[in-house]
Chain A
Amino acid sequence: MDRVFGDKKAIAILLGPALFMYTAIMLVPSVWSLFYAFSTGNVIEGFRPVGLDNFRKLLDDPIVPTSLRFTVTYALVITVGQILLGLALALFYVFVLRRASALIRTLVFFPVVLPTVAVGLLFSKMFAIAPQTGPANSLLDLLGFGATDWFSTGSKAFWVIILMDLWRTMGFYAVLLYTGLLDIPGEVLESARLDGAVGWRLLRHIVLPLALPVLISSIIFSLNSSLKVFDSVVALTNGGPGTSTTPLNLYMFQTSFFYSDYGYGSTLAILITTICLTVTLFLFRSSRRDLTKG
């Protein structure tokens, strides 16, 4: 093996195809997109440079602040929800169900494997008021609150999206954190119990600190995927009503491919990349310190 890795040609052969693909599929479009951000035009007439016009437009665009607010709020709420629910489920698997958790884990994980579009349709029917009243509104009627149009305002639609995405993804985070909890040595927990640490104290002082590395990884996963939310919103509200549930990713897609404004779409892509990069770097920096020291 050492001989293989010592052979420069072998390294080139092993690394070359992957690097070629990565360059062709990731780097070139990224650089190309950067070029588009400073241009305007279309594929029929070609592109011409416009300097910083697209970036000025970004500052003046009334949809960008709304879209940014939605994206950040969604990312924060969904991350908190995914981690808390995931952790609660993981604790439930480890400390309550123990060895009997396999069936429940499978059932909770099941929505993860469902196609997002199917889940979107399911929830749109569940919360529908027209043409048929869905189960959610029937329940509200039964309880005497009266049915409501969940998709008539951005604030109501937001909570349906949150509910759907939490149901859809909590199983994944539960399994992720479950594996983290399994790594905690049994004797550590045992000795903590002998010292009188049970319930919240055991969780606060023993379980959470020891599960912190996997917890940080989960937060990074969750924040990054939620900042780039796209498919679930398209399937459920398509960004509506109006643009009130339009995340930046969807707005970028619409700008580029519905309105054929590739230049401005690329500028929005740069904004999204910058946000994701900043959040990731911030989280990496925070997690770099020795987590066992609290």
Chain B
Amino acid sequence: MIRTWRAARTHPTLRTVAAVSAAALLVSGCSAAGTGTKSGSASKPTAFSALFTTENTQIPAELNRLAAGECKAQNDALPLKIEQTPSSNMQQKVQLLAGQDALPVLFAGGNALINKDGALQKSGQLVDVKKALTDLGVADKLTPAASDTIDKLYGGGVYPTIPFQYNIEGIFYNKKIFEEQGIAVPATWDELLAAAAKLKAAKITPFTASGKTGWTISRWVGAYILRDLGPDALKKVADGQAKLTDPEYVRAAQAVADLGKAGYFVDGVTSVDYDTATANLLNGKAAMMYMGSWLLASINDPKKNPLGDAIGFMPVPAVPGGSGSIDQYPANVGAPTAISAKQYSPEVGGWLKCIAENYASGLMETQGAFSGFKMGKPVANVPPLTQDLQKRIDASTSTVLWFEALFNTKATGDASANAAPLLTGAMKPEQYMSLLQNDLSAAQ
């Protein structure tokens, strides 16, 4: 080594080669360092650019409709330009764009990036949506329920997302099958188990879910925790006051594992994808599915739902002796959609105002779905199940967050990836909760 180095010092050829290598190191090193610095300076936008996940079809469709309709003037001033990327790449893409000062006007930032302690929040790259709407004189268009959910989700004091959607979660079920089997809507967990046993005995699959989209299973764990331990149970875990490995939390994973052990879920649940899982419910192959109200878009689509009005909705039943209430629905405001502070301009404000005034009624009219905005005009011919859910949202006194709402990205990923093994018995409930707690503890 020393000999080579000496040779390099004295040998002109090797010296040249060494110089080239050093230059390469320097050039590459500089470029790599550049990714972490704020080198560029964002200019005002030339388009109302929006980055959504590929899976999200609802928001782009409604924004496109607004651009051609109620928000045409705003679109002429600042044309809408939508880009979509798979949700698995979104977090990385947003980070890289933020690192290069190249964020679009709207973007689907992950909750971990935009919450009170999130990197984008701390670096001042986000618009406070509520403040912006107040400045525009349309803050009253936000529904109190959406604001309540955002407060709980992002830690209070910040309002980093446009509530393009408002969803509650519960169990969608096949009313026809329930009637045929003489099953009343279960009000308690024991009644749910009895209903599942009766259905299985009649050779009907009680529950459908997707092992490939594991949150369709893990949400059952969260729902049981909220019914059993009360609405603050998951907040306590996030704050470090309780652990998922505590026996009362493991009890929830055990309850869900027991459903799997009893054979109540669809065969081959590990390999079932999201579309197949929902099709199982909408084609009458399974009697129940835990899902959010965004499923209404499929339920209200006759091509996807041949059963029509046979699909009903019920809250997750009460756990006997539990401190949670059956009226508390896990709620969310859809995929987070933040506004880049550096891209905010009067034209963007114009778009935001138009969205606040027109988005909700348009979404209800064309897709039968809810948003976190009040409807600007009444909508006729709302399907019965949509009306039912609207009444439940209006009547609900308080909402709770879903299972992974306050988890970090790793815990969210593991909760989903390991949900099917929990159900099939390949993973014990203690292991499942311990894995998630490890992920949470590592980040605390």
A interface residues (Cβ-Cβ under 8 A, vs B): 8-9, 11-12, 15-16, 19-21, 23-24, 27-29, 31-32, 41-47, 57, 62, 124, 128-131, 149, 151-154, 239-244, 254, 257-261
In the complex, whether B79 has a CB less than 8 A from a CB of chain A is no
Nearest residue (CB) in B for A10 is: B13
In the bound complex, do residue A129 and residue B267 qualify as a contact, i.e. CB atoms below 8 Å apart? Answer: yes
Residues of B within 8 A of A130 (CB): 266-269, 271-272, 276
What are the 5 A-B residue pairs with the smallest beta carbon separation, nearest first?
A130-B268, A43-B99, A129-B268, A8-B13, A28-B28
Residues of A within 8 A of B272 (CB): 130-131
Number of A-B contacts (CB under 8 A): 149
Residues of B within 8 A of A47 (CB): 36
Q: How far is the CA of A42 from the CA of B17 in the complex (A)?
A: 34
Give residues 99-137 of B contacting A (CB, 8 Å). 99, 113, 119-120, 122-123, 125
- A267 CB to closest chain B CB (Å) equals 13
Option from B27, B28, B271, B417 in Cβ contact (under 8 Å) with A129: B271
In the bound complex, do residue A42 and residue B13 qualify as a contact, i.e. CB atoms below 8 Å apart? Answer: no
Q: How far is the CA of A242 from the CA of B421 in the complex (A)?
A: 6
Residues of B within 8 A of A24 (CB): 24-25, 27-28
- B282 CB to closest chain A CB (Å) equals 13
- A123 CB to closest chain B CB (Å) equals 12
Residues of B within 8 A of A11 (CB): 13
Q: How far is the CA of A153 from the CA of B418 in the complex (A)?
A: 11
- 16 more contacts with CB within 8 A, not counting A152-B420, A259-B409, are A8-B13, A20-B24, A27-B24, A28-B25, A28-B28, A29-B32, A43-B99, A44-B113, A62-B435, A130-B266, A151-B271, A240-B421, A242-B418, A258-B409, A260-B95, A261-B410
Q: Contacts A46-B37, A242-B417, A242-B421 hold; do A27 and B25 have CB atoms under 8 A apart?
A: yes
Q: How far is the CA of A29 from the CA of B29 in the complex (A)?
A: 9
In the bound complex, do residue A151 and residue B270 qualify as a contact, i.e. CB atoms below 8 Å apart? Answer: yes
Q: How far is the CA of A149 from the CA of B12 in the complex (A)?
A: 66
Option from B279, B414, B426 in Cβ contact (under 8 Å) with A152: B426
- A237 CB to closest chain B CB (Å) equals 10
In the bound complex, do residue B29 and residue A32 qualify as a contact, i.e. CB atoms below 8 Å apart? Answer: yes
Residues of B within 8 A of A46 (CB): 36-37
In the bound complex, do residue A23 and residue B21 qualify as a contact, i.e. CB atoms below 8 Å apart? Answer: yes
Q: How far is the CA of A235 from the CA of B144 in the complex (A)?
A: 44
In the complex, whether B211 has a CB less than 8 A from a CB of chain A is yes
In the complex, whether B395 has a CB less than 8 A from a CB of chain A is no
Q: How far is the CA of A10 from the CA of B20 in the complex (A)?
A: 14
Option from A27, A31, A129, A241 in Cβ contact (under 8 Å) with B426: A241
- A260 CB to closest chain B CB (Å) equals 6
Residues of A within 8 A of B211 (CB): 241
Residues of B within 8 A of A41 (CB): 36
- A22 CB to closest chain B CB (Å) equals 8
- A44 CB to closest chain B CB (Å) equals 4
In the bound complex, do residue B17 and residue A19 qualify as a contact, i.e. CB atoms below 8 Å apart? Answer: yes
In the complex, whether B181 has a CB less than 8 A from a CB of chain A is no
Residues of B within 8 A of A131 (CB): 272, 276, 279
In the bound complex, do residue B20 and residue A20 qualify as a contact, i.e. CB atoms below 8 Å apart? Answer: yes
Q: Contacts A8-B13, A131-B276 hold; do A240 and B268 have CB atoms under 8 A apart?
A: no
Nearest residue (CB) in A for B113 is: A44
In the bound complex, do residue B88 and residue A258 qualify as a contact, i.e. CB atoms below 8 Å apart? Answer: yes
Residues of A within 8 A of B434 (CB): 62
In the bound complex, do residue B271 and residue A62 qualify as a contact, i.e. CB atoms below 8 Å apart? Answer: no
Q: Contacts A43-B99, A258-B413 hold; do A152 and B424 have CB atoms under 8 A apart?
A: yes
Nearest residue (CB) in B for A128 is: B271
Residues of B within 8 A of A42 (CB): 95, 99, 119
Q: How far is the CA of A46 from the CA of B426 in the complex (A)?
A: 40
Q: Contacts A57-B442, A151-B271 hold; do A241 and B95 have CB atoms under 8 A apart?
A: no
Option from B29, B99, B442 in Cβ contact (under 8 Å) with A28: B29
